[in-house]
Structure 1
Amino acid sequence: MALSDKEIREIITPLLLSGAKMLDKHCPRCGSPLFELNGKVFCPICEHRKREERVELKSIEESLIGKLRLLANQLPDDIEELKKHLEVMGMIVELLEKYKKMEEIK
């Protein structure tokens, strides 16, 4: 997803105001100028995208946990329905585990 010029300015301006130094090197991934702050060289655009992805993953994870809690509180008495219910809950748990691994990678 490409960021608009305005969004890029909103990311970079606070860095410049905080004393970060814009370097004459560019990110090999996105082409943005690299910055240095407190001895750390980083790409503000890629860092922003990582934060956005983490927020999105967290939102999805919270939604799945909510659905899992809802299902856990509505367990049916019928054995066949209970099996289906538990199967869906198992799929949600698998998805949560996948999202957790994705968070660890990022």
Structure 2
Amino acid sequence: MSARGPTEEEIRNIIMPLMLSGAKMLDRHCPNCGSPLFEKDGKVFCPVCEHRKKQQKAEMKGVEERLMEKLNELANSLPEDIDELEKHLRAMEKIIELLERYRKLEGGE
């Protein structure tokens, strides 16, 4: 399944500034999104796909940060009651599992 073509915002904020920076728009298009390919400094690339990939990584980084915040919050508020403590620890284990999965997806650890 291929991604949709560039939005008006992507054209305005990514493609137009790229053209003004001296990048050369090629007569070929990205097989993923249909955006024109560009060449700059000897590198041929799709600016839209690169931008979307960066956005996705930033969003995922935000998820990781929120998970770490929740983990720290739970670690700093361990209850005295053994049943509640077990619930806390199970929640912490789940968060750690999610973090490990995320890092594997991102090519880390």
TM-score scaled by structure 2? Answer: 0.87
8 Å Cα contact 1:32/1:45 also seen in 2: yes
CA distance in 2, matches of 1:32, 1:77: 58
Q: What do residues 35-81 of structure 1 show as CA deviations (whole Å, max 9, x unaligned)?
A: 11111111011001101101100111111100000000001112221
Per-residue deviation, 1:9: 2.3
Moved more, 60-69 or 15-24: 15-24
Aligned position for 1:80:
83
Q: What root-mean-square deviation, in Å, do the aligned CA atoms of Structure 1 and Structure 2 show? A: 1.7
Write the mapping of 1:1-106 to structure 2, written as runs, cut at 5 A.
2=4, 3-104=6-107
Percent identity, aligned pairs only, is 61
Per-residue deviation, 1:103: 2.4
Per-residue deviation, 1:102: 2.6
Unaligned stretches of 5+ residues in structure 2: none
Aligned AA for 2:49?
Answer: C
Q: Which has the higher helix share?
A: 1
CA distance in 1, matches of 2:31, 2:92: 42
8 Å Cα contact 1:57/1:103 also seen in 2: no
- The number of residue pairs the alignment matches comes to 105
TM-score scaled by structure 1? Answer: 0.89
